[in-house]
Structure 1
Amino acid sequence: MSGAAGLIGGAAIGTSFNVLDDVLDELITKNVIFKPLLKGIKSRLDSLAPWLKYIEKSYKKLDLSDKELVNLEVHLEEGVELVQKCKKVRWWSMYKRYKYANRLIDWDGSLQRFLEILNVQGIRDVKESTVSVRNMEKLISRIESNMGIHLAVSRETFGSVPELPRVTVGLDEPLRDLKEMLLKDDVSMLVLTATGGWGKTTLATKFCQDEEVKDKFKENIFFVTVSVHPNSDVEKLYQRMKSQEAGQDPLLLVLDDVWSNSVLQKFVELKLRNYKILVTSRSEFPGFGTPYKLKPLNYKDSMTLLRHSAALGDSLSVPEDLLREILKHCKGVPLAITVTGNSLSGQAAESWLSRLEDWRKGSILDYETTLLLCLKSSIDALGDKEAIIRECFMDLVSFPEDQRISAAAFIDMWSELYMLDGDFRSIKNLHELARKGLANLVITRNENMAILDNYYSEHFVRQHDMLRDLGIYIAKLDPIEDRKRLIVLSGRNQPKWLREQKSQPINARLLSISSDGTYPTQWQSVHLPQVEVLVLNFKTENNALPEFVQKIDKLKVLIVTNYGLSPTELSNFNLLESLSNLKRIRLESISIHSITKNWVPLKSLKKISLFMCNMGQAFHNCSIKISDAWPGLEEMNIDYCDDLVELPAELCDLVRMKVLSITNCHQLSCLPEEIGNLKNLDVLRLRSCTELVRLPVSIENLTKLRCLDMYNCFGIRKLPEGIGKMRGLRKINMGQCSRLEELPLSVWDLDEQLEEVICDEEKKPFWDSFLARDKIKVTKEKSNLNWLEKPQL
């Protein structure tokens, strides 16, 4: 029995306390899975032992009701039972590890609430009995200083700036940025955002302790942790500000770990004078101050933090190459580096190597429970109203790490999985994920233009590797047969569930396989009756659709992405013929000729998207007509297909086509006259086809065409004379059409129906003669180099 536990006497509560203390001692020594959580609970019990003893004696002396102590005794007994169960959990059982880690956290939180109730009740009863509270306050002060527990006491200690860790790295530049941005006269609020464990609180603390900041705000610096459920300190501070106790001197308020903008709204509505508010949050809060995103650590700072956390100093006991490999898995996340260093501190190099090998089989989250729980709290905080955002986050892991993913792929997935009508709804969810720090949304050019014309092919998604690991981990928590999505990282390395495949069906709706293009024979026996979306990722020269795809009867969306350096062949396309529900196909970096030379009819296909594909020889000398192969096709997107010189006339036989989008095809020089056959066409998009010099005369037959997009087609000099016959036309985008010389007189006939014309400032006079000025919108080129952005560490 430890000395701390021995302070509790032989009463019932003391017995439960001592048993729990002994079990914790044993488990901390023998079990590394829950070690950080258990050490925290043990440290709390050690610090609270004298206080519990004092309260127990006070209740006896004063003959007070022991209801609260009885409840605490029951809670301690539940703790003993819980810790005993934790002893039986093995490291390979991810579900149980996560389950019992959460139970430990909940139990610890309940313990703190019990102690707050006892403290309030004890202080009140002690005061009523004229017993001195000085000793009680000393004990509470000791507890608070050791554990950081905020108990309801008569002293007003809220708002103080926490202590900095002994070593901080990578914060000098962000600190300079914060000072430069927040200390400006016209800035009153700044929102510091990053995912959990990135070091937001540490940076905010460093900001408060900066000499320049302290000199400016003197004693008027208040630091309050808000968290998911704001505590009484937040309300105390609000009431103090509301009563103007802070005076008129410069004031700095730090609201740490904010999860809802309702807290910010309260303080903004106070309309304080001469104040600054620094907010730290995992989410962005548009409309609430200037945003600042904290980046992961670079390699040098990561190494410094790892050596400090592991107490290595300049020691060479662990080889530098091994440390470098460890850091690759930590992804520059300070919390990941710290918990790794702490857990391996004092251990031989062989232990470091063993840990690295374990991570290679899974991920760091399989072994670092503290890091897992910190990251997962962002997902757990998504309420019922945000259930769709949680699902969308999980779907991001369908694509390989370190890749920029086209937002159009998610539009296809989510339109079918979640019945999202309108592409903008999927983009809205991506913006929400970005706002919550769960993904990065990269818009390569002209962000405002996308809102105007529903064009999202220049939207891309990136996700930090640690968050991707989190998504994969969460996906594996459910039993294999009950998972919503099945993520297979290699088609050749067979996962355990595939080797042990039984006859029971796997009910996932989404299946993602990242492979070398080959699939083990075991896949043939897998029963996938509910899969609606199949994502195939590979990086080889010649690839084939897996044989089992023909058995996925409910498949609605097929996305095939080649991450190699050049477009690749794709065989076995004929397997899709039996899939009567297939509506959408998206192919990236595929040679389309390998598909069209042996057409198979896909009667239900509604949309096909071709991104960076080779299609110069496609659609020629086909075995059957394209109109017979894809009779129901309504939308075709061709983007960045550099070898497309002339659009095949055969495509104009797809008379049900409503959207034809040909963008960034810089070699395309002409469109076929047969394009006038597309009588049902609603949108014709020719954006950034820079070699296109004219539109065919037959375009005047497209009487249902609503939107004509020729943005950045600077080779076009004039519009067809008969454009006025296009009675359905509502929008024309001719921005960056710098060589346009004149407009045909038939534009007069479009005056009443046209709702919007987008053009450049120098071409605006052309349209002024034909249209009302409120219909003409002038745009300026806002190109950027976001598309060159490299993944972070």
Structure 2
Amino acid sequence: MAESSVQSAVQRLGSLLVEEEENLEAIKEKVEHLRDELDWMHCFLREADASRYVDPRVSRWVIQIQEIAHEAEEVVEIFLFKLISHQKLQYAGKTFVIKNRLERYLWVLGEAKAIHDANNGIEALRAKIATLTSRIQAYGIKITRSDSESLTSRVHSLDVIKEDKHVGLNDQAKNINIVGDLVSEARENRVFGIWGKNGVGKTTLAKEVYFNHAIRKHFNRFSWVYVPQNCKVSGLLRGILTSLVTNSSDEIALMTDQVLIKELYQVLLENKCLVILDNVWTCDIWDGIKPAFPGDDDKDSKSKILFITENRQVAEQIHGRSIIHEIRCLSYDESWELLQSKLGRIPAQIFGIDGISKMMEMAKKMLKVCQGIPLAIIALGGLLVTKKTPEEWEVVVGLMNSLQNGKHYQQQSYEQVVELCYYALPYYLKNCFLHLGSFPEDTEIPTKKLCNMWVAEGIAVSANGEVCRGESLEDFAEDCLTELVQRGMVKISKRKSSNSNGSVKSCKLHGLMRDLCFKVSKEENYLSIMDLDSKEALVLSGKTRRLAIYLGQQGKDQILLPQKNQVLRSLLLFPCQKERTEVNHGSIRGLCRESQLLRVLDLDGVVVSSKTLPKEIGDLIYLRYLSMRDMLLTKVPPTIGCLKWLETLDLRAKVRLEIPNVLWCLERLRNLYLPCYFTIKDSEKLRLDNLNNLLTLKNVNSFILEDVLAMKTLRKASVRYMLENEHIEFIQKSPKVVFSLTIFRAIIGKEQVNASTSFDNLIKLELKGELSVPINDLKFPPKLNKLVLDFCGMMQDPMPVLEKLPNLTSLCLDHQAYVGEKMNCSASGFYQLAYLRLYGLKSLHHWNVEQGAMSNLKCLQVTSCERLSKIPQELPHQVQITHV
């Protein structure tokens, strides 16, 4: 009886196998039809985008279609994931196959459920699409064609972006004389404030003060700390102390509040410090940190505090003897000057000589709505510069007028201008802008990282789905960022020190723009933020597709990540820089098991409880971007080789990392960042063959020469150590690749350095180790931009040699690189130098700079040079000095 039942079951499973193979073909055909529907939805979204702000019905339908499009993508990807999971798994050269009939039957049952779920999902989506399509047709809504600007007409580089003019701020700075107040020896005033409306330029003016020559000469230590709305006193104290002393951040992180107050008080009492607190929201902030600051009775204290706030009540009540400066809004003439600086010559081209009065009339109407707020005026200029006819200007004027009577009556009119500028963005820029809202307030966002994320998420997509010939997706993403900066929606934070053109290294989102990101993201379910320091807990919905978690200052408890979110596409974790909070290893394992559709996983700086990642990381088969930068990891699981779709992999952990020799499996990899120090599991050489799409390769060492020479798409590479001939051959035989080279040895000989003189494609050189010969015996690459000398122990002044390098834009002398007492820079030297860092030159006592030397210097950083008595007065006026 039992035997016949088993035979019957086997026969039934056999027929089920045939049946499901037929169903599989049918569902695959439905999936292809669904992809066609997706193409239609994306076309509709592009065409309807320009009408959203004009017609609320279109806006509602766009949001509904966006949701359906997301659901369609999820149905397809979940179905494919289940199929792949039931098929044979192959990674690292090992193949696991279904061994017997029973396993095959179990596989068929799993496949049958996947087919059933996919079929139900597709039918439900078809019904939604049909209903929505009929409604759109029934209402007869006319869709305005969106502006699909030609990519070839845009500037394809962040190098050429200029700073926006600071109209009116210079005059205000002279009138209120903040610098004079701060350098005054009057001891009765130690607390100063700047207040004004959001976007009026308070922080911009404060930065002008912060880097002022008189300020840098008067004070010897500086701290600029941004105060987030949910800031804790302990975190704020740690931030101030970290920037004023040379102690390690880990040491300061272990201090109790009482120790922090005592240490900070002593530093402020013994030194002339300038502390700037940006974005002070309440008087409670000052009340919490006040015990750490010398009081009115401490007559010997020469430290001073400058706070920035947009709350007038806070400005007036924060300290009884504080001197408060108000930053006013721009006058009409100043507003028009700023708008003209943004527009350039375009108005004359549009209106001609006869139409200037009409242009002025329209500008006056629009500037009135801006209320003299520079941020709104710059954004308006970024919008108008894209308009090519007077009629298009009139449309903008009409929209401005409608703002006064619309649904946004509770907003300030300048806030409505900023919102209008967002809705006027081309379709391909909107998601790029909203994505910036993921980052914590006042965060400097690295442009390279940002562009790689945009590519991985598929949000950097042109209006017609194409990019220019010879342009990579990363190039197009940079174009999008360039356009957002030019439109005044994003501001430049830092420029690359190694580039004389000052290309953008990092960007930042103004608070007003970030608020707009949150508003739109909430309406469109684009992004969710979980701030673990916030008193209000965020309840995540099952449709949360992008999630940013601010880990905050949670003490010693391990953090558990959200689980069971099957549609999550992007997860960014932001650890608090002042606290070392651990993330639970098991919760990362659960995340990998439950969120299989994840495309972006950013773990920068995160501490994992086990110091390793779970092997389940290999289950994230759709992952495009994975960053482990600055993590305290010791090894990476070999299952990372299963991530076949991975495009960007950042392995630059804080400690020596053991890497499995499986990176060659990642065929789609475009950007590979290796750690500075790593070992290769069970091998001496790192296999990099099969990486035919690689654009960036950082910190490569112990490689197979044939592998790297076969990379035809490679653009940028950095090589460490140069201990073998293959490193030299790699650079010599790759003339189209831009190289950085690090020579790291206990003793660096003349032959190692001089071997690089024939490398025209070497732009950055780091020498880490003691030089065996005087520096004037060394020869450097002809096109060298950046030079780092570290632990070199030079006894001869290096400046007379280095100042003659014709293309040098960045120079760093670190950790006793020079052990002499005097340093001289001649009048004709360092013509291209833009950045100079002097760090840990313990013996340096006197630095002489002749008039005219370093005429292009933009930034000087002097740290831990205790014997250096003063900064030379002959430095160019525009230089920003950081001196600790």
- Compute the TM-score of the two structures, normalised by the length of structure 2: 0.38
Bigger Cα Rg: 1
Q: Which has the higher contact order (CA 8 A, sep 6+)?
A: 2
- Compute the TM-score of the two structures, normalised by the length of structure 1: 0.42
